Structures are given as C-alpha cells and as structure tokens.
Amino acid sequence: MDASATLAATAPHLGLALAVVLAWLLIGLLGLVAIRSFEFISKVLFPAGSIVSLCLAVVAFAALPAQPETAQLPLGLPGLPFHFRLDALSAYFLFVIGAAATGISLFASGYFRRGEGTPPGILCFEYHLFLASMALVVLADDAYCFMVMWESMALSSFFLVTANHRVAEIRRAGYLYLLVAHIGAIGILLCFGVLQANTGDYSFANMRAQQLGPFWASAGFLLALFGFGAKAGVVPLHVWLPEAHPAAPSPVSALMSGVMLKTAIYGLLRVSFDLLHAPLWWWGLILLALGLVTALFGVVYAAAQVDMKRLLAYSSIENIGLLLAGMGLAALFTAYGIRSVAALALTATLYHVASHAFFKALLFVGTGAVLHATAERSLGKLGGLLRFMPWVGWLSLVGVLASAGLPPLGGFVSEWLLLQSFLFTPDLPNSFLNMLIPAVAALIALIAALAGYTMVKFYGIIFLGQPREEKLAEAHDASALERAGMLWLAAGCLALGLLPVQFAGALSAITEQLTGVGLGATLAANAWLLVPMDVARASYGPVIFLVGVALCCLLAYVLVRRFYHGRLRRAPPWDCGFPFQTARMQDSAEGFGQPIRQIFEPFFRMERELPTASDTAPRYRVTLADHFWHWVYLPVARLVTRFAQAIAWLQQGRIAVYLLYSFVTLVAVLMLVRA
C-alpha cells in the first residue's frame, strides 16, 4: 500500500498507466475463471477491456507534455527489479496502443464465435496479456524488464495467431512467426549488451549515460535494426507477416499490424535517438534505403495479391517502409545538425504511426466482418457486398481512403508531411545526398500512387460490382458491437485528418526530446492551417478543403437542377455488343494486378501452369512466390537439415554408447583442468 501511495504521489501518470495494465491482466484472469462462459466473456470482459484501453489512451495523452516519470518496482528476480519510465516518447506509443485497442476490443466482443479452436476464456486471457505486454514494452526502463515483456508479447501473440490450431497451415504460420520473433530477440539482447558498455548495469539510464565510440555505437545500432526490423517486417525479415496475418483471427491481425509492429518502431527510435544520443549520418542512409526497398516491395506485392488479408499484410510492410524512411531522414538531418527538418521528418513519422494504427486496424476488422459473413477470403469469390453489408462497406471505405493517402483523412496528412520533409531539404554538405533526396521523394510519390491503386482494387473487388457467387446474397452486416468498434476506428481516421495542427502540435514534446527542436510554435502561429515550415511554400487546411468540396457539390447540384432536371433517361448499360454477360465477367483481382505483375516482373518469382491437351477444363494459372524464400530461407533450412542429419548418428539409441560419451567428456575435462 505504501509503495502504491508513493508511486501515485511521485509519478501520477505512470502509476495510472500501470494500474490500467493491471486492469487488463485482471480481465484476462477473469476469462480463465469463466473459461467456457462465452456470453460473459464476449458481452462483459471484452467491452470492459475496451473501456480500460480508452482510459490508457486518455492517461497517455495527458502525460505527453509532462516531465518524465520513473519508478522501480520489486518485481522480477532478486537484485533485478523492474524499472519503468513514462516520458513523451513512451506516452505517445501508449496512446496509440490504447486508442487503437479501444475500437479493436469493441469489435472483438462481437466478432469471436464459439468453436474458434481455443476456449473463449483462454482466448480472452491471451488477448489481454498481449495488450498488457505491449504497454509494458514501451514503459520498460531496463533491458531485463524490456526483454521479459518483449517475449511475453511474442508468446501471447503466437498463441493468438494459432487460435485455430487444428489447421496445419495455421500452425506452420505461427511457428514461422515465433522463429523470426526469437531470432530478432537475440539481436535486441545483443544490442543491449553492447549499450551497457561492460558496466554490468542494464538500466536504460546507465546506457543513456555511456559515451560509446563510433564502432560500438554503430554495432549497437545495427543489432537494434536487425532485432526490431524482424518484428516490424522489414525486408528481408518480412516473410512471417503475410503468413501470420491470414492465419490469425481478424481482431488479432488488427492488433498485430496496427499496434504490435509499432512497438518495433518505438524500440528503434528509443535506441537510435535516445540511448545512443546523436545518430551518425550513414545510419540515416541505411534506414532510408532499407525503408524505400521495404515500402516498394510491400506495395508491389500487395497490388498483385488475390487474398484480402495477405493484401493488407503486404500493405503493412509498405507502411513500415515509409516509417523507416521517415526515421532515416530524421537521423540524417540530426547528424548534420539540421534539426528543424529532422523534427519535421520525425513528426511525419510519428503522425503516420497513429494514422496507420487506425486505418489498418479498420481494414482488418472490416475483412473480418466480410470473412464471417461470406466464409471467403479470396477476392475472386467476392463482389457486390456493399448492398448486403452497407455498414461494413461504408466504414471500410474510410480506411481505404486513408490508406490511399486521400484528404481529409489522417493517411493524407502523414504522407503529405513526409513528402514535405523531403521537398524542404536544405543544402547538405554531401553532394551525393543532395542529389539523392529529390529522387527519393519521387520514389515515395510512386509508392503512394501504387498504394492508392492497391486500395482501389481491394475495395472495388470486394464491395462494388455484382456478387461473383450466389451465396453472397445471403451475407449479413456486422453486429452492433462490431459496428461500434469500426465507427471508433473510422472516427480516429477522420480526427487525424481534420485536426492535424492540434495533433502535430502535441508531437512537439517528442521531437524536442529526441532532436532538441519542436514544431509547436510554428504550428500554433498558423491556427487551423498546417504549415510545416513556411506558409509561402506549403500549407494544408482541412477546413478549407472541406469547404471547397462542399461548394463544388453545391454548384453541381444547382447546375443539374437548373439545366437537366426532368431530363433523366434510363437505359441498359453498354454491354460491349455481348448481351449475355454474367457477374463472372467483371474485372477480377488477377486482372487488376496484371499490369503491376508485368511492370515489376523482376520483383516476383512466377510459376506458370499451362493447360494441356488432355484438360477437360483448361485454365491458365500464374502463382506468385517471394524471391526471398528461395534466395535466403529455403537454403538456410536445407543447410540446417543437412547439419542435423550429419550429427544424427550420435543418437545411437544404446546405453553403452551414451556411457562412452560421458566417459570421453569426463576424461577431456580432467585433462583440461590438469593443464
């Protein structure tokens, strides 16, 4: 009780945040108590988890401008207590976790059904443990606490991915995810070993106090990039993402893509800009190059997908690439002392963290509603669902427009700020970089255009046109709780688009912490007009945009009423001279992605299946595979298999042989001790 009172007095925001995390854990434990009570879990515990998530978002947002708060709790092992810290950076990511989880948990309360493969009580426990571990990851202030929470996050999400564990394909996807997660965890652990500089003190405060030379600082950065990159899905460590997301239940996919990937971005920001102080210029160049490759790879593969959840998974890879590119630009300008542009790039990156969390979570829960209503995940078997699922269709449209980067939604603001940070680049002391940055801006514009193309395909194939299957006419709309969750996420997309000045101003505390410069004064000086640097060069006003759109609509209405009222003529649509068309003749997902496959053919490993003369129903098929499976992962798997087979002879199955091994080992140890 004394410890709780002390924590509440000295660190009020941190104490409230930890209390919220404890509430999540208690909700999970109640799920274990009522392990088979589906109604209690879905109608009470998940909505309660949503309310707790909202409380966390409120507490975290209130803590953004506050001074850092720290606490040491008697948890963990003897001599290794858990250290926690709530500063501007951790508060912001806590806000993103809480705000996105509010809508996802509300949707999940109406989504989960009996017979998902895991008892509902265990699913409830795993879900809220996952939320709690993500929150504690961003609150951890020492390597031991961080790694415990990081592994808790990985294990709880693994069990959620494999919720329907009776399906072999889902088990394989879960094992791949867990393997890559643990490989990345090794990199993070080695990074912390470098940062503590052989002092034996693994607290972040001690790491922050060290002055590492360029070699060891670079080693720590590269290890962090590898470890956190594996969790974020950075190419070539991305292979788990398009496998795990289709396997997981849709609310879990929304949490993983919209929220969990951001914990890796948090870790990379914490190491690069906080624990390592000032980044070197070539760190920014590596982040920039890796981010652009990841973004282009992700959007090209997303445009060619025919599975709606795999399409969204590759789209998440693209967005992670954009976040890395923004971080790279911020690191580059911080290294050269151009901190105002570094703050702008970092603001764009942080803005996109929240924007992506909302619109990607909205799209994943929308696909979950479609999946439950139609039992179909293939785009080639969907179509025309807007007339049967209007709530899901119109709310998903908000996520699609935000993902495509269209105003007045949050996705437009974050991508516009990122592009402005490239276009406002002043002269650098490196002529190569001066030439490179404008080319990078053009590549980001290409990626944004391809993302819009992909979203047109996603929405048009699923919701527009005619139903491609007869059973789609029986599709039902989302339930009341599912609609409420989707409404919350759609409202988040709209709020980020309509209040960019206020939200970007709140991010000023983080940029001041990481780069020493904030944009708060510049933004406040222009009221409702978003001005990155100078109003004469670029500005964006969502209110002005909406007024312009409203005036255009009003003018169109007046002109139609004035000149064309009463002249409406109804006629059949043009049928290309073939009056016997069916719904199967609509543009398909494969046809929509064919131009992308042709233009970016080197990106894909294509396997073509040609019809033979004996086929009664000949069909030409093209299967797309990932080059990295064949270049990296399959060779490594074959090498490990051969090594295992080479040493398999050691297991003879005879007790005499094992006693011989023990005797030889004992003799070798005695000889070493004697020497």
Contact status, residue 364 vs residue 449, Cβ threshold 8 Å: no
Parallel, antiparallel, or unpaired for β 604-609 and 621-626?
A: antiparallel
Contact status, residue 491 vs residue 395, Cβ threshold 8 Å: no
- Tokens 């269209």 label which residue? 406
Least confident of 182-191, 487-496, 599-608: 599-608
Residue among 128, 141, 226, 132 at smallest CA distance from 186: 226
**Is residue 260 over pLDDT 60?**
yes
CA 526 to chain centroid, in Å, comes to 32
Contact status, residue 158 vs residue 120, Cβ threshold 8 Å: no
Q: Could you tell me the CA-to-CA distances from 27 to 51, 109, 125, 128, 600 in Å, in that order?
A: 11, 13, 7, 7, 48
Mean per-residue pLDDT of the chain: 85
Identify the pLDDT of residue 566: 63
**Is residue 449 over pLDDT 70?**
yes
Identify the pLDDT of residue 397: 93
Q: What is the pLDDT of residues 239-254, one digit of tens each?
A: 888 888 888 888 999 9
Tell me how far apart the 2 most distant CA atoms of the chain are, in Å: 107
Q: Using CA atoms, how far apart are residues 361 and 258, in angstroms rounded to an integer?
A: 5
150's tokens: 């990081």
Is residue 606 classed as helix, strand or coil in its secondary structure? strand
670's tokens: 């005695």
**Is residue 3 over pLDDT 90?**
no
**Is residue 649 over pLDDT 60?**
yes
Identify the pLDDT of residue 138: 94
Q: Using CA atoms, how far apart are residues 210 and 137, in angstroms rounded to an integer?
A: 22
Confidence label for 618 from pLDDT (cuts 50, 70 and 90): low
CA 539 to chain centroid, in Å, comes to 28
Confidence label for 473 from pLDDT (cuts 50, 70 and 90): confident
Burial of 653 (0-12, 13-18, 19+ CB in 10 A): exposed
Burial of 597 (0-12, 13-18, 19+ CB in 10 A): middle
Q: Using CA atoms, how far apart are residues 93 and 88, in angstroms rounded to an integer?
A: 9
**Residue type for position 668:** A
**Is residue 261 over pLDDT 60?**
yes
Confidence label for 477 from pLDDT (cuts 50, 70 and 90): confident
Which position has the higher pLDDT, 541 or 480? 480
For 411, other C-beta atoms within 10 Å of its C-beta total: 30
Confidence label for 349 from pLDDT (cuts 50, 70 and 90): very high
Q: What is the pLDDT of residues 203-241, one digit of tens each?
A: 888 998 888 888 999 999 999 999 999 999 898 888 888
Q: What is the pLDDT of residues 292-328, one digit of tens each?
A: 999 999 999 888 888 889 999 999 999 999 999 999 9
This prediction has a pTM of 0.90
Identify the pLDDT of residue 545: 77
Q: Span 466-472, mean pLDDT?
A: 80
- Tokens 């000149």 label which residue? 563
Q: What is the pLDDT of residues 480-533, one digit of tens each?
A: 899 999 999 999 999 998 888 888 888 888 988 888 887 777 776 676 777 776
Contact status, residue 499 vs residue 410, Cβ threshold 8 Å: no
**Is residue 257 over pLDDT 80?**
yes
Identify the pLDDT of residue 186: 93
Which position has the higher pLDDT, 464 or 435? 464
CB proximity list for 613: less than 8 A, separation 6 or greater: none
CB proximity list for 111: less than 8 A, separation 6 or greater: 249, 250, 251, 365, 368, 369, 372, 482
Q: Span 612-624, mean pLDDT?
A: 67
Which position has the higher pLDDT, 433 or 85? 85
Q: Using CA atoms, how far apart are residues 273 and 392, in angstroms rounded to an integer?
A: 40
The rounded percent of the chain whose pLDDT value lies above 90 is: 33
Confidence label for 394 from pLDDT (cuts 50, 70 and 90): very high
Residues facing 626 on adjacent strands:
604
**Is residue 18 over pLDDT 60?**
yes
**Is residue 563 over pLDDT 60?**
yes
**Is residue 136 over pLDDT 90?**
yes
Contact status, residue 181 vs residue 226, Cβ threshold 8 Å: no
Identify the pLDDT of residue 490: 94
Q: Span 571-586, mean pLDDT?
A: 71
Q: What is the pLDDT of residues 436-447, one digit of tens each?
A: 777 888 888 889
